[in-house]
């Protein structure tokens, strides 16, 4: 149903949905189910946003989201299951270190105990600053490990993280994390495939009057209402002009910046050199290290994760420097022969992706309330959606999905049905 790039846009719809990531797709599906006409406007030439499955060495891999977190209560896991999609429910290898290389069992227990201790301290004796970094002494021997972990989980180190926001994330109800071997991005793109979508259509302004005038670089659409599901960094940069101005919402978005998590994929010419579904952490004593998922689903590939400051530095340094870094860490762990036999496949650069600008949101210290502020509709005709609006499942695809449904329900409840 996507309209080709050459067609210029015009016309009237009940609801314009800006952005075709998980939130925008969910919102549009819900509105269609409620009998409303919609048009999804997406700046990229594809659906999915931060969900993007690509073909690497003939196999589907996710450049963005890959795990159905909190799977037992994740609506997308339930939907995939109901559609008969293959689901991998096995436990991830994250907390294991293959052959305990450079990370003796004793240290592994101590490192994870330090992580549990941090959680306890944040819950029961948080520092007054609301800064997660203030809960661990700078010279704590596990500080680099904890900062590194935060880089993977939150896209930033502990000093940049609000404790209240961190504690609001709800993974207690379900620790199950499942995967879609055919790709999370492919799944979301399929969920959006039947929707009316204009791809390559960048929205430049939303002007509210009797309705909402949506200006794009491909023409102007008139809608009764609009849902804006672009990332918090895109909002904060001012890519979309709002009239009347929505300063409070844009300021809230600026307090929910996207941290950075990038992936690096490498092909293994001798896959049997490492067991399937295994894992290695690069270094224990520095935060700037990689997390290496070896042979996901048994495939002849390494999926490396780089988070936080390291991801930013390597993104700035470029692809060659990123491969060099990953190869060097793998050489130290598995030897020169192993590292020499790796073939680069793909590096992501989510921070430089011009319509996204990062990986997932965190609240700055003192600004945990910004999520609720962004999610509060500024008027009966306009509201925001997206992972940054989620109170308890922010930073995830299912949190984005749920925020899209909430936005659609709110608009449908408040918007008078257009005369036939």
Ligand X SMILES: Cc1cc2nc3c(=O)[nH]c(=O)nc-3n(C[C@H](O)[C@H](O)[C@H](O)COP(=O)(O)OP(=O)(O)OC[C@H]3O[C@@H](n4cnc5c(N)ncnc54)[C@H](O)[C@@H]3O)c2cc1C
**Which residues bind to ligand X, rule: CB under 6 A?**
18-24, 41-44, 49-51, 64-67, 69, 202-203, 229-231, 234, 239-240, 261, 263, 348, 350, 355-356, 359-360, 386-387, 395-398, 400
Measured in residues, the chain has a length of 420
Cβ-contact 286, 307 below 8 angstroms? no
- How far apart are CB 191 and ligand X at their closest, in Å? 12
Q: How far is the CB of 332 from ligand X (least distance, A)?
A: 24
- The CB-of-279 to ligand X minimum distance in angstroms stands at 15
CA distance readout (Å), 16 to 25, 191, 207, 382, 384: 12, 18, 12, 10, 12
- Least CB distance from residue 9 to ligand X, whole Å? 12
CB nearer to ligand X: give 20 or 136: 20
DSSP state letter for 363: P
Which is closer to ligand X, CB of 14 or CB of 315? 315
Cβ-based nearer residue to ligand X, 66 or 290? 66
How many other CB atoms are there within 10 angstroms of residue 308's CB atom?
25
Beta bridge partners of 360: 259
| Residue 136 or 200 having the CB closest to ligand X | 200
**Token pair for 270:** 């001798």
CA 410 distance to own-chain centroid: 24
Query: Which residue's CB is nearer to ligand X, number 61 or number 103?
Result: 61
Cα(252)–Cα(272) distance, rounded to whole angstroms?
Answer: 49
What's the min distance (Å) between Cβ of 157 and ligand X?
Answer: 17
State CA 170 to chain mean position distance.
16
Q: Minimal distance in Å, beta carbon 85 to ligand X?
A: 16
Q: Tell me the two tokens of residue 250.
A: 């844009």
Beta strands of 120-202 (E only): which ranges? 178-179, 197-198
**224-229-231 Cα angle (round to 5):** 150
* Coil, strand or helix at 388: helix
Minimum distance, C-beta of residue 324 to ligand X, in the bound complex (Å): 20
Q: How far is the CB of 238 from ligand X (least distance, A)?
A: 11
C-alpha distances in angstroms, 77 versus 85, 190, 194, 248? 9, 14, 20, 34
With beta carbons less than 8 A apart as the criterion, state whether 263 and 53 touch: no
Please, which residue, 143 or 255, has the CB nearer to ligand X? 255
Closer of 225 and 334 to ligand X (Cβ): 225
Provide, rounded to whole angstroms, the least separation between the CB of residue 278 and ligand X: 18
The nearer residue to ligand X, 240 or 408, going by C-beta atoms, is 240
Cβ-based neighbours of 186, under 8 Å, separated by 6 or more: 53, 60, 180
**CA atoms of 161 and 416, how far apart (whole Å):** 41
Pick between residue 143 and residue 259 the one whose CB is nearest to ligand X: 259
Residues 15 and 225: beta-carbon distance below 8 Å: yes
Shortest Å, Cβ 373 to ligand X: 16
Shortest separation between residue 17's beta carbon and ligand X, angstroms: 9
R_g over Cα of the chain:
22
Task: Please tell me the distance from the alpha carbon of residue 110 to that of residue 103, in angstroms, as a whole number.
Answer: 11
Closest CA to 402 of 88, 165, 69, 163: 69
Buried b / exposed e over 44-63, threshold 16 CB at 10 Å, is bebbbbbbbbbebeebbbbb
For ligand X, give the closer residue by CB, 49 or 290: 49
If the CB atoms of residues 297 and 338 are measured against ligand X, the closer one turns out to be 297
């Amino acid at each position: 149903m996507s309209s080709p790039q050459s067609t210029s846009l015009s016309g009237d719809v009940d609801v314009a949905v800006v952005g075709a990531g998980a939130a925008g797709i969910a919102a549009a599906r819900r509105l269609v189910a409620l009998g409303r006409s919609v048009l999804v406007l997406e700046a990229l030439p594809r659906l999915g946003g931060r969900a993007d499955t690509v073909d690497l060495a003939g196999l589907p891999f996710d450049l963005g989201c890959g795990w159905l977190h909190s799977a037992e209560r994740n609506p997308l896991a339930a939907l995939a299951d109901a559609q008969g999609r293959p689901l991998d429910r096995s436990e991830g290898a994250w907390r294991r270190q293959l052959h305990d290389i450079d990370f003796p069992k004793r240290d592994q227990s101590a490192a994870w105990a330090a992580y549990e201790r941090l959680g306890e301290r944040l819950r029961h004796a948080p520092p007054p600053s609301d800064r997660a970094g203030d809960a661990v002494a700078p010279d704590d021997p596990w500080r680099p490990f904890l900062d590194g972990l935060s880089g993977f989980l939150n896209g930033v180190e502990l000093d940049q993280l609000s404790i209240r926001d961190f504690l609001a994330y709800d993974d207690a109800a379900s620790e199950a994390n499942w995967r879609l071997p055919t790709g999370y991005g492919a799944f979301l793109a399929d969920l959006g495939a039947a929707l009316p979508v204009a791809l390559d259509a960048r929205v430049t302004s939303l002007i509210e009057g009797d309705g909402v005038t949506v200006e794009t670089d491909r023409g102007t659409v008139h809608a009764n209402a609009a849902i804006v599901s672009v990332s918090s960094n895109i909002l904060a940069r001012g890519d979309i002009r709002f009239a009347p101005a929505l300063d409070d919402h844009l300021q809230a978005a600026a307090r929910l910046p996207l941290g950075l998590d990038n992936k690096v994929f490498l092909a293994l010419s001798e896959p049997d050199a490492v067991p399937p579904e295994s894992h290695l952490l690069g270094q224990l004593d520095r935060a700037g290290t990689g997390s290496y998922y070896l042979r996901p689903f048994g495939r002849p590939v390494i999926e490396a994760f780089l988070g936080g400051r390291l991801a930013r530095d390597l993104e700035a340094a470029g692809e060659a420097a990123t491969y060099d870094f990953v190869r060097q860490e793998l050489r130290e762990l598995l030897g020169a022969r192993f590292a020499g036999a790796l073939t680069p496949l793909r590096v992501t650069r989510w921070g430089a992706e011009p319509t996204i600008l990062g990986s997932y949101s965190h609240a700055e210290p003192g600004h945990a309330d910004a999520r609720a502020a962004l999610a509060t509709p500024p008027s009966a005709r306009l509201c925001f959606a997206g992972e940054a609006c989620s109170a308890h499942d922010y930073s995830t695809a299912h949190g984005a999905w749920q925020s899209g449904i909430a936005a659609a329900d709110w608009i449908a409840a408040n918007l008078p049905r257009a005369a036939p």
